[in-house]
């Protein structure tokens, strides 16, 4: 196996020469040392450090003698030899990096052996690998991903160690409010509340059917991709790719989806449609419309996309349609399955350091409350709400106020003033704000972006000028290229 005995000896020698190296030394693990003798010495030094005992030849020798391991490491003669390995500790951190690199390569070697064994000598859980290539790929990618994240795992640190970073962040924001801004949603109040969608956040968008969950989330995706140049993965378990692209291009072009589908667009609307097409051709949006995809498959595809193309935002439509996780248990209730999927999506957001927008249906109970005139949703209305409430960093509800009469409901069913309720927000307030939904365009807009003409909501015509010289990437609608990624 890959190792460097000289680097291991040099790291130990540096600690014996200068105890200021102890803090970095104790952050290593026994597995960073290939030689068994060096692992024993490492653990003895860490023990002395925990007892606040100075580490030198005498104290180390006494500790090894006390646990009966002095002869196992080569005796006092070997410890004395270590002292002559390096003249100073100048290159100590370089030696530590060599140990970290070799340990990572050894883990990769073991992972490769494990993958090979799973195919040639599978155990009970791996017997399906020969029939199911996706399961085998998921297993292999999970092993590799765990290795890539291993070095990022945090050790216990004193709170005071983090204070300079926090104060520096506060100072940065004081001088530049956009310094720590996440991905902008395009909605003024929401961006003000969140300072943009933050890395690692799981954001739930909940509403009853036909209120506009998909439209709202897709609008955020389009704003993020076109205005912030974000790379976005969209998993649609309900709509097909063509239906999603229909909505996307008409929303960007500000033309009626219904009139486009019926061939009733004017020449000026066609011009806007082609401008929108040019913009979306240069948008980093990747679609997956698998109807029975599982949380594990979503994680695998996002890991691969992040590794190969980059990834800034994930949208999932919606939680209730995700397949059950492969736990090996057939007795799990639907609530337990949803809880597992919700938890996995939170883990993905944290591990990949991207915000995840996940849509969720609300219970029918919201429609049977005593106050039927305008029952606003609450956290308990989320289906299988316990797990979703717990995992979510933010929960947004889209509330469509009920109209007084059936005729008014019919007249305003497509255009309405939506109330966006921030029901949970780990990092800030939980207010509400209003957006205007334009049914023809399947688009939510800031109230200030909507003009009023004779009492009918309309939207300004967007700029038709398209940015030139944008980087060439996979077109939104090119399904074959998307399948190469996913």
Name the residues annotated as catalytic: 238
DSSP string, 262-294: TT---HHHHHHHHHHHHHHHT--EEEE--TT-B
b/e per residue 193-202 (b: at least 16 CB within 10 A): bbbbbbebbb
Residue linked to tokens 């398209």: 466
Q: Are the CB atoms for 419 and 438 separated by under 8 Å?
A: no
CA distance 283 to 220: 13
Contact 256, 440 (CB under 8 A): yes
Residues 110-144 as b/e (b if ≥16 CB within 10 A, e otherwise) read ebeeebeebeeeeeeebeebeeeeebbebbbbebb
Contact 30, 39 (CB under 8 A): yes
Per DSSP bridges, beta strands 451-453 and 313-317 are unpaired
Question: Of the candidates 74, 66, 41, which has an alpha carbon nearest to the alpha carbon of residue 55?
Answer: 41
Cis bond leading into 318, ω under 30°?
Answer: yes
């Amino acid at each position: 196996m890959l190792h460097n005995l000289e680097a291991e000896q040099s790291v130990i020698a540096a600690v014996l020469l200068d105890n200021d190296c102890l803090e970095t030394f104790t952050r290593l693990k026994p597995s960073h040392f290939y030689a068994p003798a060096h692992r024993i010495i490492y653990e003895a030094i860490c023990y002395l450090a925990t007892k606040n005992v100075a580490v030198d030849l005498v104290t180390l020798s006494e500790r090894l003698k006390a646990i009966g391991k002095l002869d196992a490491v080569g005796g006092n003669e070997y410890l004395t030899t270590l002292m002559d390995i390096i003249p100073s500790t100048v290159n100590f951190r370089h030696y530590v990096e060599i140990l970290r690199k070799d340990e990572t390569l050894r883990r990769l070697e073991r992972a490769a052996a494990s993958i090979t064994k799973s195919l040639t000598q599978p155990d009970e859980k791996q017997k399906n690998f020969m029939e199911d290539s996706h399961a085998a790929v998921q297993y292999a990618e999970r092993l590799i991903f765990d290795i890539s994240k291993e070095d990022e795992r945090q050790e216990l640190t004193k709170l005071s160690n983090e204070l300079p970073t926090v104060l520096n962040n506060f100072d940065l924001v004081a001088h530049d409010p956009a310094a720590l801004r996440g991905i902008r949603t395009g909605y003024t109040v929401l961006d003000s509340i969140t300072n943009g969608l933050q890395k690692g956040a799981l954001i739930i968008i909940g509403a009853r059917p036909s209120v506009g969950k998909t439209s709202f989330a897709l609008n955020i995706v389009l704003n993020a991709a076109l205005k912030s140049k974000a790379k976005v993965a969209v998993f649609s378990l309900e709509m097909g790719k063509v239906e999603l692209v229909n909505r996307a291009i008409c929303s960007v072009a500000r033309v009626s989806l219904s009139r486009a589908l019926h061939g009733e667009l004017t020449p000026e609307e066609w011009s806007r449609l082609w401008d929108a097409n040019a913009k979306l051709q240069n948008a980093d949006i990747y679609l997956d419309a698998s109807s029975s995809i599982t949380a594990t498959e979503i994680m695998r595809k996002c890991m691969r996309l992040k590794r190969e193309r980059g990834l800034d935002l994930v949208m999932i439509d919606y939680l209730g349609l995700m397949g059950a996780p492969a736990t090996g248990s057939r007795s799990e209730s639907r609530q337990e399955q949803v809880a597992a999927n919700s938890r996995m999506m939170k883990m993905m957001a944290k591990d990949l350091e991207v915000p995840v927008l996940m849509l969720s249906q609300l219970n029918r109970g919201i429609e049977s409350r005593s106050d039927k005139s305008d029952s606003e949703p609450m956290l308990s209305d989320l289906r299988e709400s316990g797990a979703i409430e717990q995992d979510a960093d933010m929960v947004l509800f889209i509330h469509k106020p009920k109209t007084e009469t059936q005729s008014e409901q019919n007249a305003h069913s497509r255009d309405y003033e939506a109330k966006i309720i921030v029901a949970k927000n780990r990092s800030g307030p939980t207010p509400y704000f209003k957006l205007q939904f334009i049914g023809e365009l399947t688009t939510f807009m800031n109230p200030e972006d909507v003009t009023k003409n004779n009492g009918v909501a309309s939207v300004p015509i967007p700029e038709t000028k398209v940015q030139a010289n944008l980087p060439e990437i996979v077109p939104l609608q090119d399904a074959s290229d998307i399948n190469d990624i996913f």
